[in-house]
Chains A and B, each alone.
Chain A
Amino acid sequence: MSAILTVDDSISIRAAIKIALSGEGYAVTEAGNGAQGLEKASAGGFDLIITDLNMPVMDGLTMIRELRARPAGAGVPIIFLTTESDPDVKAQAKAAGATGWLTKPFEPEQLVRVVQKVLAK
């Protein structure tokens, strides 16, 4: 069973992600901002991280960058959530080390497809 960390300051989005993914048999852990996400991810053990970009305390971009610099963060797929209006942010996130993206708002099926796409089986 793959372990997934979802980092988002919106409780509803975290919930939506958790519902969609636990339904598919993934174990989902939540974090409310980039700093929390970084802390949890640094402990290791996640197969995939899904993160928002705009968050208090530490934003998603910073988190991705920090995480990629740490041993536990190397090689873990990171999907970031983006809105339609920010193609530049997408490029930035990719440069920071994100693996893929998902456009908000998204359907649960889309999320599952993207997760399956980046998770090594």
Chain B
Amino acid sequence: MSGLDPTETFRQEAQELLEQVEKGLLDLAHRPEDRDLIDAVFRGLHTLKGSGAMFGFDALAAFTHHCETAFDRVRKGEVPASKRLIACVLAAQDHMRALAEGRPVEPAVGKALLADLHAAVEGGDAPAAALADPAAPVAPVGKTWKIRFSLPTDALVNGARPLPLLDELRGLGDCRVQVLTDDVPALGDLVPTECHLAWEVLLTTTHGRDAIDDVFIFVIDDMTLEVEELIEASTDNAALEGATKAPSAPPSEKPVEAAAQDSRAVKTGETVRVPAERLDEMMDRVGELVIAQSRLRQLASSSLDTALRAVAEEIERLAAEMRDTMMVVRMVPVIQLFARFRRLIHDLQNDTGKKIQLQIEGETTELDKTVIERLADPLVHLVRNAADHGLETPEERAAAGKPEAGIIRLSARQSGAEVLITIADDGRGVDRDRVRAKAEENGLIAPGQVLTDNELLNLIFAPGFSTAATITNLSGRGVGMDVVKKTIEGLRGALDITSNPGEGSVVSLRIPLTLAIIDGLLVRVGTSRFVIPLANVEECVELSPAQDLRSTGRSLITLRDELVPFLRLREQFNTGSAPDPHQKIVVVSTGQDRVGLVVDQILGDHQTVIKPLSSFHADIGAFSGATILGDGGVALILDIPALVQLGQRHDAPMRVAG
């Protein structure tokens, strides 16, 4: 629903704008002279105010107005971006956030914030009155906008009139109007009270983008509106420069932002508002297409008709391209995710009294938007953990000969069909003895049980585990590391931790780029077929009859001098028929752990559209979903983390014995 609700859309936009403003403010604290930053903060506040008013968030708009005014003065050089002013606006962020989310706010708080803000602006250096000369602004240069709009079909019944809208546009400047009749139905189907016309208007005006949006204020929620600035051989280099530098978010993700962006930003292409759920629907259709296509491929391959085969190949290529395009449309850079951590770190420093330096790498790496949304909570938890448990106090660090400020590094990079995200700190590292004591206390392991270092570290992710001696304000608030692990695995990702005493810890997450389609390896076990996500596959080897016999009862094979446990899927799935003479082992891995899966036959790779299992079957564990094959058959998708865990468990006693 959220995708279609304009209020919700605005809230989301407001959230993003606030993050953007916050980032600007935090940077500004270090570089108070930076024009780009000042402009960015001003733009963010300006847009927030503008669209807030547009979507009926009047209190927010009114409040933001004051912050905007303050930054307008900074922009004009009247007041400096003093630490005090930055702190005030940062403090005001929470208030604005509450207003944007529609949470109840204490009016007194707002008043106090505004009073502080006022004092900060007035209390700064004496205003350089000479600098500002509002009477002589830069000569206004007209801009040309291409505006394309259509009203909802029921607009006329509800009293909206296109003519006054056009008149109002005309009032803004030089206007050329063209009516688009493409959507007008045939005369027989025409309902006279419905509006099927669309308009394209070329408007040259000295008014800003806001003025255009104001024209549509009563209909903007439901209509289609595209506004694009036409760039002429412009001499406005400053504007161009500003725009290229602005770290603008991708158009696919932020429809409203596109509509409300500062008029200075130059757009190179049109953007269209699309509710997120329509994208999901489209993804579904592409999924169906891929299934139909593989059916076609199968039919064509058994046909002698060369024309049919040519078409099948063509369709295959198109379907693959379609799939890729669709995925790109849904991709969002992780900066959206990372940006919020700057504030988190800011707050954490205050809460813990620790000095923390946040380093961010690879924030342009892209991920599917649904994946990004679901990653937010686990990452917040991991960063909190790093700050709370990982990093030492400045005194402890000094004693250990480290710089006072601890480092938390967030990085993202793409590797194949996955994105690797790491959260690293240079703190004290995981205290193995404490982990062991705690695990024994909680009955997770038997006293004195022999574990590899990796196994010991991974106990942190076991349900109910927490090393915090006391529950602090920061951690232990309901979300445990086990929930983090569950969420990551729910995304078909994996997580792993490494840690060196005194040097810090690194938690790495491997996340698939998208949730809807994966490349899989199709295998046969008995008469059934299964899909193994290709991202998890390390290699395929033959299980020689000798190995098969030798390994009976101790399911381990030696791969390049390393023992790898394996599972016979025939046994796991109780396949009745006799095994093939040449069974194969597909070696799969999650993080550090590897396990071999014995199958009868490897059928090849297969582009797999994932269909979720019904709620009845969702808990089976060994399967993460199902897919429809080209011949109409169904194959289950193996849940690799679950199988690896199973394999490792089988392996554990072996290690003790051997």
Contacts and interface: CB of A to CB of B under 8 A. Distances in A.
State whether these chains interact: yes
A73 to B, nearest CB: 9
Most buried by A among B56, B158, B163: B158
B159 interface: yes
Contacts of B163: 120-121
Contact of A75 (B5, B59, B193): B193
Contact of B193 (A74, A78, A100, A116): A74
Contacts of A91: 5-7, 56
A115 to B, nearest CB: 11
Nearest to A90: B56
A99 B158 contact: yes
A85 B60 CA distance: 11
Interface of B: 5-7, 55-59, 102, 156-161, 163-164, 167-168, 193, 217-218, 221-222
Contacts of A37: none
Given A75-B193, A76-B159, A99-B159, A119 B164 contact: yes
A84 B99 CA distance: 12
Given A75-B159, A75-B193, A77-B160, A87 B57 contact: yes
Contacts of A62: none
Given A117-B164, A121-B163, A68 B157 contact: yes
A82 B55 CA distance: 13
A104 to B, nearest CB: 10
A63 interface: no
Contacts of B161: 77, 118, 120
A97 interface: yes
A98 interface: yes
Nearest to B162: A120
Contacts of A120: 161, 163-164
Interface in A81-102: 82, 84-85, 87-88, 90-91, 94, 97-101
A87 B102 contact: yes
B218 A101 contact: yes
Say whether chain B's binding surface is mostly helix, strand, loop, or mixed. Answer: loop
Contacts of B55: 87
Given A74-B157, A97-B158, 15 more contacts: A74-B193, A75-B159, A75-B193, A82-B56, A87-B56, A90-B56, A94-B221, A98-B159, A99-B218, A100-B217, A116-B164, A117-B218, A118-B160, A118-B164, A121-B163
Contacts of A103: 58
A84 B58 contact: yes
A99 B164 CA distance: 13
A99 B102 CA distance: 24
Interface residues of A, number: 26
A97 B160 CA distance: 10
Give 7 nearest A-B pairs by CB, closest first. A77-B159, A99-B159, A100-B218, A87-B56, A120-B161, A84-B58, A97-B158
Contacts of B156: 75
Interface in A30-77: 68, 74-77
A118 B218 CA distance: 9
A117 B58 contact: no
Interface of A: 68, 74-78, 82, 84-85, 87-88, 90-91, 94, 97-101, 103, 116-121
12 contacts: A68-B158, A77-B160, A78-B159, A85-B59, A88-B7, A91-B5, A97-B157, A100-B217, A100-B218, A117-B164, A120-B161, A120-B163
Nearest to B10: A87
Given A87-B7, A90-B56, A100-B218, A121 B158 contact: no
Nearest to B104: A85
A82 B160 CA distance: 19
A99 B160 contact: yes
A65 B489 CA distance: 49
A117 B168 contact: yes
Contact of B158 (A82, A85, A98): A98
Contacts of B167: 121
A118 B222 CA distance: 16
Contacts of B217: 100
A84 B110 CA distance: 15
Nearest to B222: A94
A65 to B, nearest CB: 11
A43 to B, nearest CB: 17
A100 B193 CA distance: 19
A81 B167 CA distance: 24
B502 to A, nearest CB: 53
B269 to A, nearest CB: 31
Contacts of A87: 7, 55-57, 102
A73 B221 CA distance: 22
A99 B161 CA distance: 9
A116 B215 CA distance: 12
Nearest to A94: B221
Contacts of B164: 116-121
B36 to A, nearest CB: 34
Nearest to B156: A75
Nearest to A49: B159
Contacts of A75: 156-157, 159, 193
Contacts of B5: 91
Most buried by B among A68, A97, A99, A101: A99
A96 to B, nearest CB: 9
Contacts of A119: 164
A68 B163 CA distance: 21
